Amino acid sequence: MPAFNEQQIVKTDYGSFIEKVDSGKVKEVMLKSGQVYFTAVGADSNTVAYQTGAINDPELVDRLLAADSPNPDGKIAFNQIVPQENSPLLNFILLWVLPGLIFYLIWRQASKSLRSRFGADGNFLSFGNAGSKIYAESDIKTTFADVAGQDEAKETLTEIVNFLHKPEKYAEIGASLPKGALLVGPPGTGKTLIARAVAGEAKVPFFALSGSEFVQMFVGMGAAKVRDLFKQAAQKAPCIIFIDEIDAIGKKRDAGFGSNDEREQTLNQLLTEMDGFDGRKGVVILAATNRPETLDKALLRPGRFDRRIQMELPDLEGRKAILEVHLRKVKHESIDMDIVARATAGSSGAELANIVNEAALRAVRMGRQAVTTADLEESVETVIAGAQKKNKVISASEKKIVAYHEIGHALVAALQSHSAPVHKITIIPRTSGALGYTMQVEGEEQVLQSKESLFNRIVTLTGGRSAEEVVFNTVTTGASNDIEQATRLARAMVTRFGMSEQYDMMGLETVNNAYLGGDTSLACSADTAADIDREVLRLIKEAHAKAKDMISSHMDIMHEASSFLMEKETITGDEFMQILRKHLGDDFIKV
């Protein structure tokens, strides 16, 4: 049949096709793939191509043979195109061999990828790439010179460094390297930093990973990771393994009949691996945690983690050393380290690093080329209370209340013994929500707190509310944070510090997670708890009454200092003390 353009073919129904056959108008017919293609003479004597669907018609051939046609021989030319079929062999290859080959190649590639990722033993249950980072000697730039404020920890870890450098000196006497050292302390004290410093000093490979990386969805995966980690460490020995937040896998196991959960199996594998390697080969495990009380006893026994290294918050000299380390990285001039270090009591190394960075950012904003002491002091306040809210609009009446509130704190603090000197008073709002604050800075590092000093702190905390009551005969919400701190301090005096005559040295409260804020829980009966509340209330009332009496007796100082504060918005401790001495003399008696 001649080739026709698809647009030239007219679609019709099978009945019309039979009608044209019977009327002698059809010239050619072709059956192809269930379709009937035919040509017929149209009304204008032109040949038109048609298409219709084939129907199971046994009499079609006889009908075509018997029908007339416009062809010269009077017969309809017809045929059927049979689709070319593949040979049986080709069909077998296409349907069976080729899909099987493709599946095999995919499986092989996937297996290779899994082996490279989870281990080379090919066993699905033994997948174990530890996901740890291996640092070569040149990659670790941190040394003990970069770690400040942790002299005791550095001294303890120096022995490990010496062993890795000269193991033969220890082998002569028969000493073995401690298998593990547990770094314990609050967040930000430099546990990870000092672990990297050990590797940097010893110039050995450093495996660093988190305890959470061992916890997997499938049981057995974490244990396989532990096996693979120690296998790599044995190949790289001498080296250091550092596991951060080890409490993720090292928590105490259940006291029941055991468990098959993933975390417990991972812990069991870790205990086995720590028992299985020789300490003389130079593989040292360092681990860090903020919750040592939650760790399994078997993990802490000698022969596993032999040493426990405390990473405490730095003292005054430690804070100075940390500030010096971080100030090396920024341009600065004439920094008074003593003032900044005393103002940052209780800050960790990470917080001090943040303070230095904030000071550098402030210096840039102010258009200076170097950081000054003022920048550091402002950054301390920014970290503690937030940035200044310069666009905050406060009414004159509220501003007056805030000023008297803050002077109330400062006056009570200045008139008491065992109280930190006032460093700064401000009524500029901060982003933390504070409308003002009074900053006290200890003259020297305080390690022990006496009953008198703690009670005087409560008196100072109630000074703001007392000023509102005495001056304005009202109370506001501005004392909410003072109330919270005073209540917590008074409760600690009664329940934990043994500073109550009623309960003497009886412990009534336990502290959990001491390095993470210190959640407390009462360890007494309900009746005793009610008595504790009454004792706490007595302490706070006594402190409140003392603060009100002190403010009522020095109203002239309150008025002058508050007016000066409203005018300046921020005054220093020295300016406040000048007003105090003007009224009381240089040798006024503190109570």
Q: What's the pLDDT tens digit per position in 503-521?
A: 889 988 888 877 777 778 8
65 in the same domain as 19: yes
Which of the two residues, 255 and 107, has the higher pLDDT score?
Answer: 107
pLDDT value of position 123 = 38
Mean pLDDT of 480-490: 94
Catalytic residue among 406, 468, 469, 535: 406
**Is 444's pLDDT higher than 70?**
yes
Q: Quick check: 6 pLDDT over 80?
A: no
Per DSSP, the three-state class of 104 is helix
Q: Final residue of a domain: which of 310, 339, 370?
A: 310
Look at residues 69, 58, 57, 55 and name the one whose alpha carbon lies nearest to residue 22.
69
The residue that leads in pLDDT, 275 or 366, is 366
Q: What pLDDT score does 110 carry?
A: 77
pLDDT, residue 113, reads 64
* Co-location of 197 and 289 in the same domain: yes
pLDDT at 524 over 50: yes
88 found inside a domain: no
Pair (481, 343) in one structural domain: no
- In this prediction, residue 30 has a pLDDT band, given cuts at 50, 70 and 90, of confident
Q: What is the mean pLDDT of the chain?
A: 83
Tell me if 390 is assigned to some domain. Answer: no
Of 54-58, 333-337, 412-416, 461-465, the least confident: 54-58
DSSP string, 288-326: EES-GGGB-HHHHSTTTS-EEEE-PPP-HHHHHHHHHHH
Q: Per the domain annotation, does 86 fall within a domain? A: no
Please tell me whether residues 156 and 260 are part of one structural domain: yes
In-domain check, residue 87 = no
DSSP 428-457: --BTTS-S-EEEE--SS------HHHHHHH
**Per-residue pLDDT reduced to its tens digit, 232-290:** 888 887 888 888 889 888 888 766 544 557 778 888 888 888 887 666 667 888 999 99
Lowest mean pLDDT among 99-103, 479-483, 538-542, 547-551: 99-103
Q: Is a pLDDT exceeding 70 seen at residue 133?
A: no
CA 99-102-106 angle, 5° bins: 140
Residues 304-338: tens digit of each pLDDT: 888 888 888 888 889 999 999 999 889 988 888 88
Within a domain: residue 391? no
Q: Do 325 and 305 share a structural domain? A: no
Total residue length of the chain: 591
Question: Do both 152 and 71 map to the same domain?
Answer: no
- Residue 36 host element (H or E): strand 35-41
If pLDDT is split at 50, 70 and 90, which confidence band does 201 have?
A: confident
Among 42-51, 112-121, 438-447, which stretch is predicted with the lowest mean pLDDT? 112-121
One domain, residues 204 and 332 = no
Specify the residue for token string 């996937």: 110
CATH of the domain at 363: 1.10.8.60
- In this structure, the answer to whether residues 160 and 284 fall within a common structural domain is yes
- Give, as one character, the DSSP assignment of residue 277: S
Residue 89, in any domain of the structure: no
Over 70: is that where the pLDDT of 115 sits?
Answer: no
Confidence of residue 62 (pLDDT cuts 50, 70, 90): confident
Q: Judge if 525 and 422 occupy the same domain.
A: yes
Where a domain ends, among 81, 113, 143? 81
Average pLDDT over residues 101-105: 84
Question: Where does residue 271 rank: exposed (0-12), middle (13-18), buried (19+ CB within 10 A)?
Answer: middle
- Region of poorest pLDDT, from 62-66, 219-223, 356-360, 497-501: 219-223
Per-residue pLDDT for 31 more than 50?
yes
Mean pLDDT value across residues 541-565:
94
- Domain, as residue range, for 170: 133-310
d(CA 326, CA 347): 14
CATH of the domain at 496: 1.20.58.760
pLDDT at 128 over 50: no
For the residues 84-97, what does the mean pLDDT come to? 71
Greater pLDDT, 40 or 493: 493
- CA-based nearest residue to 476, from 401, 388, 528: 401
Residue 443 lies in a domain: yes
- Write down which residue in 385, 419, 443 finishes a domain: 385
Q: Quick check: is 406 catalytic?
A: yes
pLDDT band at 476 (very low <50, low <70, confident <90, very high): very high
Q: Are residues 342 and 477 in the same domain?
A: no
Check whether residue 229 and residue 289 sit in a common domain: yes
The two beta strands, 35-41 and 437-440, are unpaired
Residue 83 and residue 461: Cα distance in Å, rounded?
98
- The pLDDT assigned to 125 comes to 36
Counting the structural domains of the chain, the total is 5
Percent of the chain exceeding pLDDT 90 equals: 24
> What mean pLDDT do residues 458-484 have?
94
Which of 3-12, 51-60, 361-370 bottoms out in mean pLDDT, i.e. has the lowest? Answer: 3-12
Mean pLDDT, residues 32-46: 79
Check pLDDT > 50 for residue 122: no
- Which pLDDT band, with edges at 50, 70 and 90, does 86 fall under? low
- Spell out a b/e string for 352-361, using b for 16 or more CB atoms within 10 Å of the CB, else e: bbbbbebbbe
Q: DSSP letters along 47-65, please?
A: EEEEEEE----TTHHHHHH
Percent of the chain beyond pLDDT 70? 89
Which CATH number is 236's domain given?
3.40.50.300
Distance of CA 387 to the CA centre of its chain: 23
7 has a pLDDT exceeding 80: no
- Does residue 126 lie in a domain region? no
Mean pLDDT along residues 412-426: 89
Mean pLDDT value across residues 178-188: 88
Q: How far is CA 263 from the centre of its chain?
A: 20
Q: Mean pLDDT over residues 194-220, rounded?
A: 80
325 or 138, higher pLDDT = 325
Could you tell me if 282 and 338 lie in one domain?
Answer: no
Give the residue with greater pLDDT, 345 vs 253: 345
Angle between helices 480-495 and 451-467 (to 10 degrees): 160
- For the record, the structure tokens of 200 come out as 């940097």
CB 348, CB 189: distance < 8 Å: yes
- Give the pLDDT score at 24: 81
